[in-house]
Structure formats: structure tokens, C-alpha cells
């Protein structure tokens, strides 16, 4: 399992069980986002506690997911962001763009 989703009420939690997001997983991630929205989720939380490295393509996947969620009035939240990944978001000035908890 590299990505798993659990639905609880109107919230979906996507857990990414990889230490690196290189972008090759973007299609799978977008399918999970789409399926969560179709299942009625109003909040999609992405657990990044296992991710220690992210490429620009990995970030692109999050940007696409955020746009999809915004179009459908769904909250997109990144949770448990590792320090090294947070530095990438800070360097790219994306910490205010994404909801990060």
C-alpha cells in the first residue's frame, strides 16, 4: 500500500505510505481525490507523516488536487508535514496557499 483512503462521515483521509513523492503517483492520487469527492467528502485530509522528500512533480499533484477540491467546495488539508517537506513549501511560498495542519 502506497496510498490508502478512509472515509469518515464527510471527511476522507488519504494516507501516503512512501518516503518520497516523485510525481509518478499523481494519477493514483487524483483518482483518490475524485473518488472521495464523489463519495460526498467535504474535507480531504492528506497525511504526509511518512513523506520525507517531495519533487516539483509531487507538489504539482497537490496543486492539481487543491484546484479540483476548490472547484467542488471541498477543503483540501495537508497534515503531519515533515520538517524537510515543510521547508520546500516554505521556500516556494506555498504555506499560505495550502491549508497545513
Q: Where are the domains of the chain?
A: 3-100
Question: Averaged over 67-96, what is the pLDDT?
Answer: 97
Q: Determine the pLDDT at residue 1.
A: 58
Query: Do the Cβ atoms of 72 and 40 come closer than 8 Å?
Result: no
Model confidence pTM above 0.85: yes
Non-local CB neighbours of 29 within 8 Å, separated by 6+ positions: 3, 14, 16, 61, 65
Q: Band of the pLDDT at 62, cuts 50, 70, 90?
A: very high
C-alpha cell read off for 87: 521547508
Q: Band of the pLDDT at 43, cuts 50, 70, 90?
A: very high
| HSE toward the beta carbon, residue 71, CA cutoff 13 A | 9
Task: Answer whether CATH 3.30.750.24 is correct for domain 3-100.
Answer: yes
Amino acid at each position: 500500500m502506497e496510498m490508502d483512503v478512509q472515509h469518515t462521515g464527510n471527511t476522507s483521509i488519504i494516507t501516503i505510505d512512501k518516503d518520497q513523492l516523485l510525481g509518478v503517483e499523481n494519477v493514483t492520487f487524483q483518482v483518490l481525490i475524485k473518488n472521495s469527492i464523489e463519495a460526498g467528502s467535504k474535507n480531504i485530509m492528506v497525511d504526509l507523516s511518512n513523506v520525507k522528500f517531495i519533487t516539483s512533480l509531487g507538489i504539482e499533484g497537490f496543486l492539481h488536487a487543491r484546484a479540483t477540491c476548490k472547484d467542488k467546495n471541498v477543503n483540501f488539508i495537508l497534515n503531519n508535514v515533515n520538517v524537510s517537506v515543510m521547508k520546500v513549501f516554505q521556500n516556494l511560498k506555498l504555506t499560505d496557499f495550502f491549508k497545513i495542519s
